[in-house]
Amino acid sequence: MEAEVAAGTLAENVLGYIKYVYMFALFCYCFFVTVFTIKPQAADITLLMHTAPYLVLQGACFFLALAKVVHGIKSGYWERLDFPEWFATANYVYCGVGLVIVLAHALPFTYLCLDGNCFPTEAADPTSAAVIAFLIFDRLFLIWFFILPPLLDGAVIYYRYGRLEGLHITLSEMNPKLVAELDKEADERECAREEAREEARQSLIFENDA
């Protein structure tokens, strides 16, 4: 993306937004592991500490999807991949539906917790509208943000493989000490290969003389 900024195809403020989104998502994924450390026993602070990381993770998934769309459009990347015009609109619709799923999942959950339920599935009335809505949107969230994206990315790779832009790291962007170590390792491997070739030649000469 830095190369796109240098080339003038991506604005710096858009790159800044994308960087913040990725940093926020990284924090959310790290924060998410705390759900496995606390098992809530009642609708109290332990329930909040157990479920808040999951709700925050949902927000991160939405912003990651939105950042992907913003980059694809603002940088012209999707245009360079020769995607049809409706592709951008379809992705905006994807993000919009994703936002609805996130909110529709969080609101019933919050309502049930405030109503004194430790878990929505342990509500006094499991057939209530709030419980059913929670269960439906809980499944939809997993499908929308964890199953669909890999499938869509796989389709893009399959149909646009020859046009995808790879990540290139030049030696000037790397740590000088690391570059020196890599050069040293490359020289050692070359010396080892040269010694092996010399031994093979000497062995062939010896066999011919014999």
Query: What value does the CA radius of gyration of the chain take, rounded to a whole number of Å?
Result: 27
| Residue 67 CA from chain centroid, whole number | 11
Residue 121, C-beta contacts closer than 8 angstroms, at least 6 positions apart: 131, 135
| Angle value at C-alpha 117, between 98 and 40, nearest 5 degrees | 90
Asked if 115 and 136 sit in the same domain, the reply is yes
- Is a pLDDT exceeding 70 seen at residue 162? yes
Q: Among 37-41, 62-66, 172-176, which range has the highest average pLDDT?
A: 62-66
**Which token pair is 77?**
């990347």
- Which of residues 95 and 207 earns the better pLDDT score? 95
Total domains in the fold of the chain = 2
Residue with tokens 């939105």: 66
Name the token pair of 52: 């808040």
pLDDT, one tens digit per residue, over 21-37 is 888 888 888 888 887 77
Q: Are residues 13 and 98 in the same domain?
A: yes
Q: Are residues 128 and 182 in the same domain?
A: no
Task: Give 10's pLDDT tier (boundaries 50, 70, 90).
Answer: confident
- Spatial CB neighbours of 139, under 8 Å, sequence gap ≥ 6: none
154 with 190, same domain? no
**Same domain, yes or no: 102 and 191:** no
Q: Are residues 155 and 195 in the same domain?
A: no
pLDDT value for 209 = 65
Cα 67 to Cα 16, 22, 195: the distances in Å are 11, 9, 52
CB atoms within 10 A of CB 66: 20
Pair 116, 196 in one domain: no
- Higher-pLDDT residue of 112 and 118 is 112
CB atoms within 10 A of CB 65: 20
Q: 178 falls in which pLDDT band (50, 70, 90)?
A: low
Instruction: Write out the residue range of the structural domain in which residue 8 sits.
Output: 2-163
Do residues 87 and 191 share a domain?
A: no
Same domain for 143 and 175? no
